[in-house]
Amino acid sequence: MDALYRRIGVDEHYRAAGKMFYTVESHIVHHAEVRANEAIHVTTQVLAVDDKRLHVFHQLYRSRDQVLIASGEQLHLHVNTQAAKVL
């Protein structure tokens, strides 16, 4: 999510302005194992976005054989952190 946030302009200046996305729902499925220090990579798909919501789907793969290790679907809400409410 950090890489996606940076890509869409959610950085330290954005957070300093009192805005951020909060994860409000998350579904994780574990498909396979990975050893410590083994190379992995992730893909992220934006499923939907509007002024208040960001809906994403992640897939984590073992790099040596492209086996799917885990997947996760998340819903994030755009929040005014100073007022503690959805924008």
- List the CATH number of the domain containing 82: 3.10.129.10
How confident is the model over 38-58, as a mean pLDDT?
96
Domain that residue 40 falls in = 2-86
Report the pLDDT value the prediction gives residue 53, as an integer from 0 to 100.
95
Domain count, the chain: 1
pTM, two decimal places:
0.85
Q: Which amino acid is at 9?
A: G
- Asked whether the predicted pLDDT for residue 37 surpasses 90, the reply is yes
Report the pLDDT value the prediction gives residue 54, as an integer from 0 to 100.
96
Report the pLDDT value the prediction gives residue 13, as an integer from 0 to 100.
92
Please give the share of the chain, as a percent, with pLDDT higher than 90.
78
CB 87 within 8 A of CB 79: yes
